[in-house]
Each structure stands twice: as structure tokens, then as C-alpha cells.
Structure 1
Amino acid sequence: MKKLINNPADVVREMLEGIARQAPNVAILGDENVLVRRDQNESTDRTVAVISGGGSGHEPAHGGYVGAGMLSAAVCGQVFTSPSTDAVLAAIRATAGPSGALLIVKNYTGDRLNFGLAAELARSENIPVEVVIVADDVSLRHQAGRSQRRGIAGTVLIHKIAGAAAARGLALDEVATIARDAAGRLGTMGVALDGCTLPGIDKSGFVLADDEIELGLGIHGEKGVERTKPMPVDQLADTLVSNIVDDLHLKSGERVALLVNGLGATPQMELDIVLRAAHDNLARRDMRIERAWAGTLLSALNMPGCSISLLRVDDATLDLLDAPTQAHAWPGSGAVNRAIHIDVTAEPPTLEADAESESARGWGERIRPALESVANALIANEPRLTELDSLAGDGDLGASMKRAGQAMLDVPPGALGAPDRALSALSAALRKAIAGSSGPFYATALMRAARHLSASVEPDAKDWALAFREAVQSISDLGGAKAGDRTMLDALLPAANTFAEALNAGKSAQDAWVAAVSAARKGAEDTANMMPRVGRASYLGARAVGVPDGGAVAVALWLDALKQQIGAR
């Protein structure tokens, strides 16, 4: 497994040095793998020190949460391994004054033993110490009592609450009581889409097939409690939320904070989708979501997956969650937007041709079949265009052209009663439907052609040919590409020129269009031998050579689809 590391034995120390470089308020404690607040008062004036930690590999936990208003120190063991008792004791000595220290410990045996022993040693040195155990994993609720469950991502919320309470100067027993009470109102459940890989290890601890997910996993690469089939995120969120709600006995009308945590290899896009699903699920249960966060707050190296945490809250808890902190990894206020939609400003009304006029009916009868032919060709060729664009682009062309086809089919009949109005309506439809660069290109071309045709009530073939040329020129004007740059223009330019030249030579519209399609096909095929100079394919350079440009192939496809319509009356 490829990793961006030097020696696997040095990853924790080098990671801590990287964290410290980004946080002027943080320093590494001697030779220990411990991050501490640099900005501490004299020992006699210190508030309660809040200390946590555990094995590394959970970044940004725990070092990312060191700072005023959160942790005083983070004790970092080797990857997925509890830190030593001596490292924990060093952190206590470095940060605790007469007010003492609170240790927040995730409920794993190694962490409990080493933090617990360090607490006893510190007490023997007359340093007051309290220990709070977080055991928020509800997936084990049917197999173990709460005292035996694992501590996972919800622990970060306890860091924030305890850190804020300590920053207010509360006594050690008060801070500990607040933290324990919050831990008792907290539940978390996770899902993995695959395993994770430790530095220096060739393969992950477990591997899931494409049709498997793991429910109820921990945060150390260990397996979950149930292996099942993948499911839509709404259903998955309901599974996780239901288990937490049942465990915490949450009722209608209760107030909660929601945390969606990524496990290290899950894109923010997917975490936001999970948050949306969890939020809406809770809202349907008539619960009030007071705060919500989605992000990677406590990971499991490169594991794909997430967890959902719920914390029953009141005004006092929210006040602590909202308190300021210098910890650079804390995700912010978590304010919930309760009205996420606003009305769109109305667009200018579309001028439609008179549907009752003979001319409007005639144009509508000719244009509608042409649109349907093009639309069906684009939809049918989605896989081919996707494959081509994946080889020399970003792979979205097939989906974009399919959306274009569907948008064409949805253009209202009343907009097709005149050529210029039909092209304007089509421009607006494609502008909204097509993602990426293709949308603006096609929309601009259609608008330019519409403006040219607006001067004629009954444009003939030569008017259409000139409009075609104007449309193609607009694409070059907008994007800066020219013939030979390996773009859609390498099919459009020869097609437009051939159509006009054939008409001028006396050929019929149908024969001229057949020649134009042939020129477009050849132009598209020739792009396979061109070095890309613009667009995303240009980033690939010579690696794109050998594969025709997807945009040019799409042009040839829809031009061909019009053959039966051009010249038909």
C-alpha cells in the first residue's frame, strides 16, 4: 500500500512535528509524543487541565484539539496503540496546576490501563486527577453493557464540552461531572465501506466485497458487528440513527446535536449527504437539531465510511459547545440553517410563437422530430461517450449529453413555432441541463444561431447554413480553441463549412447535410491523432493521443441523427 511517509517507525513523531508547525499555540513536550498548549499560565494560576489521547491514526484527533477552550494536551501513542503510562504522566505534570487534571479516555483496554495508572501516579504526587470514560458506541448495546462499549467519534464533543467548562475556571469535580453527564447523553454508530491500512503494512485488516458494508465498526480497523448489503444513504442513516435513538431513549420534541464523522477516506460530499439524511430523519421524528457538523473529526487512517453521533443537549450544553476555542481542528459553531431554500427570481417570460398560426404549426412539426432524433441518439450513446471521456477527460460527457437529450425532449411545444425561438428555448434548456464546459458552448452557439435566424420568418437552407457557421464561430470565440486543438470544433468546423459549400455548389439540403455529417465523422476520427491543446485532455498531453475526442464524437452523433430531418417538409 502506497503511503506518503518515510520510515513507518517515525510516522507519529513526524506527524506531530507537522501539526505543531501549523499551530503556533502548540508545542511538542520533550521527547514524548505529546502535544501541549504553549500559552499556559503559571502553574499556580492554571485552570483544570483537560487531557486526552490514544493511538495515532485518528487525525485530526487528538492533536488537532489542543488549544485554549479544548484540550490542554494530547498524548499520542503509536498507530492504533495506546500511549504509555509515562507519556500520560508527563502530560499531566506539564499541564496540571493545583486545580488538577481531567483525563478523557475512550473505552479501550489499553487506554483505560495506561491513563488510569498515570492518574494514580499523579495522585501520589499530590496532583488532583479525575478520569472520564467515554463509551458511546451503541452498536454493542445488545452484546455489552454501557461500561464495556467502545469510545469512538462522539468523544470529540466531550473534549469540547469539558474544555469549555475548564476554561471558565470551574473546579475539577464540576468539570468531571459535566463531562460524565454529557458522555451519558451521547451515542454513536458507524459504518465501513472497506478496511484501512496501517503504515508499513501491505494490506488492510479486512476487505469488503463490492456488495458488502460493515455496520457497527470501531476506529482501529477492527470489524463491525454485522456485515450487510450496501443501501441508499437515506436507509443507512435511518439504520444508524434508529439504533442511537433507541439506545438513548430519545423522544419526540427532544433537542440534539448531530455529528457526522468521516473515517478518513470519505469525501466531504458524501459526509454532507449523510448529514442531510440524518437531519431529515431526525426532523421526521419531531426532534430539534440544535447543532450539526459533518467532517473528518476522528478518523481510522484511510478507512472509507462514517459514523453518526447524537448528543442530547440543553441550553447549558449548547453554551459549552458554542464557547470559543483555539483548537484548529474544531469544526466551528455547528449552527443549523433551518430554511435552506429561497425563491428563484423569476426569469423574463419566454416569447412563444402563435401556436394557432399555420407557420408555427409547420415549424413545430419539423423541429419536434429533429429534437427527438438528436435526443434519442445522445441518450442511447451515453455509455460510449462516457468511456471516451474517461480515457482522455473526466468521464462526465456521457452523463452530460444524456441530460441534454432529456432536456430536449422536455422543451414545450409552444416554444417550437419559429426557428429563432426554438433555438433560444433549446439554448436555455441546455444551459441548465449540461454540466461542465459543454453547457456554455452549446447554449452560446444556439443563441448566436437564433439571433441570425430572427431576421427571417421563413429561413431557407442557406440561412441555416450561415447560422450554423455563426454558431460554430461563437464556440471558438468563447473557448479560444481552433481547428486542430482536439475539441468539438474539429467536428463542427468541417461540418459547417462542408454544408455551406455543398449548398453553394447546388446540392440539395439533404445531400449537403449528408456531406457535412461525413466531414464531421472524419474530423472526430482525426482527433485521435491530435495533441490536445485546450481543455482537460491537454493535461494528459501525449497520453490522450490514440483516443478520439469525446466532444467531437458527440457532435458527429447528433449531426448524423438529423440526416432524416434536414430537407424534409
Structure 2
Amino acid sequence: MKKLINRPADVVREMLEGIVALSPGLALLDSENVVIRADLPASAGRPVALISGGGAGHEPAHAGYVGPGMLTAAVTGEVFTSPSVDAVLAAIRATAGPAGALLIVKNYTGDRLNFGLAGELAAIEGIPTELVVVADDVALSGIVARERRRGIAGTVLVHKIAGAAAAEGKGLAEVADIARSAASRIGTMGVALGSCIVPAAGKAGFTLGEDEIELGLGIHGEKGVERVGLLPADAITDRIVNQLVRDMALEAGARVALLVNGLGATPPMELAIMTRRALATLQSRGIGIERAWSGNFLTAIEMPGCSISLLDMRPGDVERLDATTAATAWPRGGETTGFPHLIAAPASTDAEAPLGEAGHFDPRELRRLGLAVADALEAEEAHLTDLDSKAGDGDLGASMVRGAQAIRALPEGAWINPANAMVAIGNTLRRAIAGSSGPFYAIALTRAGRHLAQANRFSPDDFREALAIAIAAISEIGGARQGDRTMLDALYPALQTVQSLGDSVSPAQVWREAARAANDGARKTADMTAKLGRASYLGERARGTQDGGAAAVAIWMEALATSL
């Protein structure tokens, strides 16, 4: 088990100390794991206190929702363990005045029992309390009764709506009614791609195959209701949204709030993909989306996966969801059109008029050379991916394949002469290849092609100068020099060979020798320490592996040499 912790027994307290130290508006009880608002007025003037909590491991819940406009206190138990009665009672005593306290819990036996008993003890002391239970897990539809379902991420929406109602100055009974109404109109369902590790246990709660996922899980590292094969994100989203709509009996014309919640290890990229599809699926059913959020709201430590919650909106909900709160974990905003706002991109400024004259060049022959390069790069995809995975981010092989496909797609008119072909290839690679390779090849080929077009002679001297210009452009834009372990370490030896041979041998022989020099230069990068690029972050660890960019240069130069 690898975790950034000290002792498992100290995880919860040390976590809360870190959270409160960063939040001047919060305070931590000295003898209990209870986070409260630090700005509370004197007891007699306090509004209804909102208190929630549960086991740790759900961060930013619940301490992240403490603040004006949301919770007054959050009570945290050990990881995935309900807090004690005494801790809850301490929270009530520290925050509630004559107006009383509303206790919001997720539907788990320990939470209901401990919060409920603490509320009873507080009532004996003269502090009125109400208990609201959230049971929003629609995955248990048909398995248990509605009131026995688990409480999961939809609880955060109850915190927000009830917190706003309390901030309006409403009494305990009315705030409790508003919270119960919201809880009854929320549905949530989750999916997991793997488990999580409870610090005290030191191992995952369950294991999944590479092509398996769990549907309908809770928030405590447990298994889901159903294990199925891995599906695309759209299919997973549709399955969850359709279950929510069915269980909540939502029909066309309904208005909802959407919460896409990460379970701890799901990157924003994947949550955004799920959100995009959820919005589209709801709209396709004629369901309007009043508010929508995506992010980590109530997690399961580092579990990969997410849940989707829907709130069936009623009058007053939008205003309370929009109401101001100082709670650090509430994301603000939430307004959405339900679909991405697209505007037309500016028209391309790439020159459409051909560069230079066709002269004695056969476009079919020039295209044959281009396709030879494309073939070679596609054939070496796995090799380039392997090299880049060892000293980069592993995308070079795929990038070169995209470049090869772009070269194939160029129209016949692009190949009227070498100048025009170079500029056309540079422009298409700029769009096709992500990362640094695309811009490097684009600027090199564009400058070389424009030089050839200006001379319009296409002599051996012109080609030698064009190659030198191309290489200088790469060095200029990237800041690399020969010996830095980059593509230049294959290009410079090729240039030196071309310049030294001059017109002493045939152009085809010159290029064969240049390709050989490029290949030798690429091999030598395995013994170099990288000074630029991702490999430079590895230091000496990158040694022993050829630079992928230099290897790619050797591949396409060899393809040209063989085809000339």
C-alpha cells in the first residue's frame, strides 16, 4: 500500500487539521473530529444549525461543505465508519442555539443510529433537533424498499438546499421539510472501474479484470449491484441516466439539476465526457437541465469511477442552489445551456494558390515519395510507441500514423512540385499531429518549401539550402542543439553529409548516404543525456533508449532514399 500518510490511526485527525489550517472560516473541536464554522454568533442569535457527516474517505465531504449557506458543522468518523454519538452530540452543543439543529445523514445504520441518538440526547438538554435521511441510490431499485436504499452523492444537493433555507431564517420544522422534500426527489447511481484501499486494511476491497466494471456501487469501497464488461463512456452514461429517469418517473418537460461526481481517482477529463453525454441524453428525452456540475463532491478515497445524481426540481430549488455560500467545496455557478456553445472557426489562411511552377515534376512521382514515407511511418508505429513510452509520453507512434494518414489525404494538386508539396505537408501535419512533432515538422517544411518556391529552380544547391533552412527552423523554435538528444541529432548528420558530398555523386546516392548518417545519429542518441523535451525530466534514466523523434527522422529519410 502506497499512501501519503503517517500512521493509519492518525489519518482523520491530521486530514482535518490540514483542512482547517487552510480555511480561516473554520474551526476544529479540540477533543472531537468535528469541524464547525468559526464565525458563529452568540447562541441566542444562531439560526438553525445544519449538521452532517459520516466516515472519512469521502472528501471534500463533509468538512468542505461547512460554511455560511451550507453546513454549520461536519462530524467525521474513522475511514468509512460512522462517527460516535459523543462526537455528534459535541457538534450539536457547539453550534446549535434555541433554533435547534437539523441532522442530515446518509441512509446507513451507523449514521442513523448515532446521529439519531445524539439528537435525542440533545433534546433532553433542551436543544430541539430533527433528523433527515437521504436514500438516493436508485441502483437498489427492485432490491430493497425506497426508504432502505443507501445514501450517496445526492446528499450534497440536500446540504445546499437546506443550508440556503436555514440562511433565509426559516425555523427548524420548515428547514427539515425542505430538506426531506429535496431528498425524496433525488436519485443517484454510480459506476466503478476499480476499488479503493482503506488505510487500516492496506488492500483493495475487491478486484476487477481489465475489461470489467461495477455498476450500482455505494461509497465505501464495496462491490456494485452488477459486474459487467467494460463499455464506452457514452454507453455507461446512458445506462445510468436511463435508470435514474425510469426510477424517478421523469417525463418530457421535467426540469432537473445534474451532479456528475468523481469517486476520487477519476480525472476531470473523464468526468467531462460523462457530463457531456448525460446532458445530451437528458435533452433527447425532453428533460431540461436547470443546473449542472461536474467534479469531486463525495468520493470513496481513490476509487476510479463516478456517480450521476438528478434532482427533480421544484419551485425554490434554483434559488437555493444559486444562493451564496462560503463553503469551500461548493463549486458555484451551475448554469448550463445543456449543449456546447459552438462558433465558427476563422477561415483558414493557408495559401490556396500553388507555390512555384509545375516545371518538369510529375505529381504522381512526388506523391509516390510521400506515400513511401507514410507507409514507413505506419509500419514502425509500434517501435516508435515503445521508444516514446520509455522516455516520453508514449504517443509518438500514434502521432506519426496520424501524420501518415494526413499525407495520404492530400489532394493531387498538392504535389505539383516539391515546394508546394512541402508546404502542403507542413500545413496538414500541423493539424494532424498533436504535441511538439506537428509544429516542428510544419515550420521546417513550410520554410523549406517557401525557399524552394522563391528560387523556383529546384537545383541540388536549392535543396541543400532548403534542408539547412528546415533544420535551422527546428532548432530556432525548439531551442535545441545537436547533442541535446532530439530529432536534430539525426538531422544534422544528414545535413553534414549532404553538404560534404555536394555534386560529387548522384543526388540519389547523396540521399542514401544522408539517410545512413541520420540512422547512425539516431542510434547514438541512446548514449546521450537529454537536455530538452520530456526525456530531459528523466535525466540519466533515459539513457539506453534511442530518442523517438530522431528514430522517426531516420525512418522517413530511409524511406525516401529507398524510393528515389
Q: TM-score range by the shorter chain?
A: over 0.9
2: CA distance, partners of 1:528 / 1:227:
45
User: Which residue of structure 2 lines up, in the alignment, with residue 374 of structure 1?
Assistant: 373
**Structure 1 residues 349, 382: CA separation in 2 closer, same or farther (over 3 Å shift)?**
closer
Structure 1 equivalent of residue 313 of structure 2: 313
Query: How many Å apart are 1:97 and its aligned residue?
Result: 1.0
Paired with 2:283 and 2:490, the residues of 1 have a C-alpha distance of 52
SS at match of 2:454: coil
Q: Distance in 2 between matches of 1:253 and 1:564?
A: 66
Which residue of 527, 530, 541 corresponds with 2:528?
530
Letter in 2 for 1:83: P
- Counterpart amino acid of residue 550 in structure 2: A
Shift of residue 159, structure 1, vs aligned partner: 0.5
Find the aligned partners of 2:551 and 2:523 in 1 and give their Cα distance: 8
C-alpha contact 2:384 2:548 (8 A) present in aligned 1: yes
Deviations 1:6-47 (A, max 9, x none): 111111000000000111100001210000001111111111
Structure 1 residue 562, shift from structure 2 partner: 1.0
- Which position in structure 2 is the counterpart of 1:398? 397
Shift of 1:223: 1.0
SS at match of 1:258: strand
Q: Which residue is 1:198 aligned to?
A: 198
Distance 1:313 1:417 in 2: 63
- For residue 123 of structure 2, what is the amino acid of its counterpart? R
- Residue correspondence of structure 1 range 433-512 to structure 2 within 5 A: 433-504=432-503, 506-512=504-510
Alignment-derived partner of residue 45 in structure 1:
45
CA contact (8 A) 1:466 1:500 kept: no
Please give the alpha-carbon distance, in whole angstroms, between the structure 1 residues aligned to 2:228 and 2:206: 15
Q: Which amino acid aligns with 1:96?
A: A
Equivalent residue of 1:455, what SS?
A: helix
Query: Displacement of 1:339 after TM fit?
Result: 4.4
Q: Tell me the residue number matched to 1:518.
A: 516
Kindly report the root-mean-square deviation, in angstroms, between the aligned alpha carbons of the 2 structures.
Answer: 1.5
Deviation at 1:260, TM superposition (A): 0.7
Query: 1:202: how far off?
Result: 2.6
1:90 aligns to what?
90
Q: Which one-letter code corresponds to 2:422 in the other structure? A: L
Contact persistence 2:61–2:298 (CA under 8 A): yes
User: Superposed, which structure 2 residues align to 1:333-352 within 5 Å?
Assistant: 333-337=333-337, 338-348=339-349, 350-352=351-353
The superposition leaves residues 278-336 of structure 1 with CA deviations (integer Å, 9 ceiling, x where unpaired) of 11111111111111111111010111111111111134101100011000011121121
Matched-pair contact (CA < 8 Å) for 2:350–2:427: no
Unpaired runs of 5+ in structure 1? none
Instruction: Tell me if the contact between 1:106 and 1:135 (Cα under 8 Å) persists in the aligned partners.
Output: yes
Amino acid at match of 2:29: L
- Give how far 1:439 is off: 1.6
Alignment CA distance shift 1:393-1:278 (3 Å): same
CA contact (8 A) 1:256 1:287 kept: yes
Corresponding position of 2:259: 259
Q: How many residues are treated as equivalent by the alignment?
A: 563
* Percentage of pairs with the same residue: 57
- 1:352, CA displacement in angstroms? 3.2
Give the SS at the match of 1:270: helix
Is this contact kept in 1: 2:493–2:521, CA < 8 A?
Answer: yes
- Name the residue aligned to 2:69: 69
Structure 2 residue 129 is matched with structure 1 residue 117: no
2:559 aligned partner? 561
Q: Cα deviation per residue 1:185-230 (whole Å; 9 max; x = unaligned)? A: 1000001111110113331111111121111111011111101100
Task: Map residues 19-418 of structure 1 onto 2, 5 A cutoff.
Answer: 19-337=19-337, 338-348=339-349, 350-353=351-354, 359=359, 362-418=361-417
- Provide, for residues 394-432 of structure 1, a one-character-per-residue CA deviation record: whole Å limited to 9, x for no partner: 111112111111111122222222332222221111111
Following superposition, the deviation at residue 349 of structure 1 comes to 5.6
Q: Residues of 2 paired with 1:120 and 1:56: CA distance?
A: 24
SS at match of 2:316: helix
**Higher mean Cα deviation, 420-429 or 112-121?**
420-429
- Structure 2 partner of 1:550: 548
Instruction: Check whether the contact 2:355–2:420 (CA below 8 A) recurs between aligned residues.
Output: no
CA distance in 1, matches of 2:434, 2:496: 28
Q: CA deviation at 1:59?
A: 0.4
Deviates more, 1:108-117 or 1:335-344: 335-344
Question: 1:213, 1:91 → 2: CA distance?
Answer: 39
Give 1:434 deviation, angstroms: 1.3
| Contact preservation (8 Å) 2:400, 2:433 | yes
The one-letter amino acid of 1:540's match is L
Using the alignment, how far apart are the partners of 1:339 and 1:434 within structure 2?
25
Question: Is the CA contact (8 Å cut-off) linking 2:358 and 2:417 kept in structure 1?
Answer: no
1:457 Cα offset (Å): 2.9
C-alpha deviation, 1:354, in angstroms: 9.5
Q: CA separation in 1, counterparts of 2:398 and 2:201?
A: 38
Q: Measure the CA separation in 2 of the matches of 1:336 and 1:381.
A: 45
In 2, are the aligned partners of 1:366 and 1:565 still within 8 Å (CA)?
Answer: no
